[in-house]
Structure 1
Amino acid sequence: MIIYVTGGARSGKSRFAQERARQLSDSPVYVATARIWDDDFGQRVQRHRNERGPEWTTHESELDLHQLPLADRVVVIDCVTLWLTNLFMANQNDIDQTLAAFKADLDKLREIPATFLIISNEIGMGLHADTELGRKFTDLQGWANQYVASVADEAIFMVSGLPMRLK
């Protein structure tokens, strides 16, 4: 089962997904896809770790999420944007290769008997990217989000901390 949660920055996506996971399981799993690039981001990651209680199992994985021990668990994947960034870098910024790799990874996850709450960002609703690379990534993110939404059992769009059920 896939529950897709999307929205803008600080829209309440992670809080919603984590609360939903706790409703579904006493011992959920949190998969962090972030690569820590600087001290500020490292502090953000640590703050998120501290906010989750000891009932959470945390895995930090930039790629190949399907190789983690996730079977029969309730799993929050946070987030598609950073996972996609890792794939984009691994594929030398090639949109087609990255999107194919993302879809293949997600399809492998779908084979695992688990409940996934997959968080993503709606970056295409913000300002137009200044650089060609930024515009390419915005397109890639949009197509990846469309794919996740198409295979999801539920889709939720977060706005100002409120869930809007799309599917």
Structure 2
Amino acid sequence: MGTKRIILITGGQRSGKSSYAQKLALSLTDNPVYLATSAVWDEEHRQRIERHKRDRGPEWTNIEEQKDLQNIDVTGRVVVIDCVTLWSTNFFSETDGDVDVSLAAVTERFEAFTQQNATFIFVTNELGLGGTSTNDLQRRFNDLLGWVNQHIAAASDEMVLMVSGIPVYIK
């Protein structure tokens, strides 16, 4: 693989984003990378993560990194980053909800990470399609994720919106 390619897959909760991303990765390579950004917040979540790892199968290289994606060498690989929402949450919670600091941290790491020659498949949630929360913290997080998503979308070569399991090609 000689050039980088960035693909953004967005949509609502349970819209089929992760399944689509994994199928796409497997169509591009026999040995994709799955880069999980979620923190483990309780035992049920830990079990869910382990189940997902088993479901993906032995052809996947599983990597867990909550924040510093730029430190992971994926040169020449196809990598699914699942997901931008949880990745952004890790910064947002660490900065006590400071949108500007979180946005700078995420976008800086995104730029550094995607300097590699690899195929990047980013999975994110499209929170902007929902209603406006009455909770200030949730509104600020929605702003953060919206701006992070816009940054990644602008840098993307391709973008897919998942609607009820159906991919809608945006670019």
Q: Is the aligned partner of 1:75 residue 2:79? A: yes
One-letter amino acid of the counterpart of residue 151, structure 1 = A
How far residue 126 of structure 1 moved from its aligned partner, in angstroms, is 2.1
Match of residue 91 from structure 1: 95
2:42 is the alignment partner of 1:38: yes
User: 1:128: Cα distance to partner?
Assistant: 2.5
Within a 5 Å distance, the mapping from 1:150-161 to structure 2 comes to 150-161=154-165
Which residue of structure 1 lines up, in the alignment, with residue 139 of structure 2?
135
Amino acid at match of 1:118: F
> How far does residue 92 in structure 1 lie from its aligned partner after superposition?
2.8
- Residues 1:126 and 1:39: Cα distance change in structure 2 (over 3 Å): farther
Q: Which moved more, 1:37-46 or 1:10-19?
A: 37-46
SS in 2 for 1:133: helix
State the number of aligned residues: 167
Q: Secondary structure at the match of 1:14?
A: helix
Q: TM-score, normalization: structure 2?
A: 0.94
Q: TM-score, normalization: structure 1?
A: 0.96
Counterpart selection for 1:108 from 92, 107, 112 = 112
Partner SS for 1:130: coil
Distance 2:26 2:150 in 1: 26
Task: For residue 47 of structure 1, give the secondary structure of its aligned residue in structure 2.
Answer: helix
Partner of residue 29 from structure 2, selected from 25, 32, 46? 25
In structure 1, distance between residues paired with 2:49 and 2:94: 22
Residue aligning to 1:63: 67
Deviates more, 1:38-47 or 1:14-23: 38-47
1:121-132 equivalences in 2 (<5 Å): 121-132=125-136
Deviates more, 1:100-109 or 1:127-136: 127-136
Q: Cα distance, 1:90 vs. partner? A: 2.5
